[in-house]
Amino acid sequence: VQTCALPILAAGLAYTRELLSLTGPLPLFAIGKKSENTLTAAGFTVTGLRHPANGGANIFRSQLKEALA
């Protein structure tokens, strides 16, 4: 992770915690390995999905469809 990205990741985690405190538990989908690793390291249970960029769109759609079934 680039150093400049650390404050952005921290803000995203704070936002995620705040949102879940308002909604209660929800299923979390992590799009891409960076988000999956970040959320898992922060203690969240997530379903990891292939990022749709760079040729992953079909895999992403398939994984999302399966996860929502």
42 vs 13: CA distance, rounded Å:
8
- Cβ(29)–Cβ(47) under 8 Å? yes
Q: How does residue 63 score in pLDDT terms, banded at 50, 70 and 90?
A: very high
Q: How does residue 45 score in pLDDT terms, banded at 50, 70 and 90?
A: very high
48 vs 28: CA distance, rounded Å:
9
pLDDT at 6: 84
Q: Which residue has the tokens 């308002």?
A: 22
| Average pLDDT across the chain, whole number | 91
At residue 1, does pLDDT exceed 80?
Answer: no
Rounded to two decimals, the pTM is 0.80
66 phi, psi to nearest 5 deg:
-65, -45
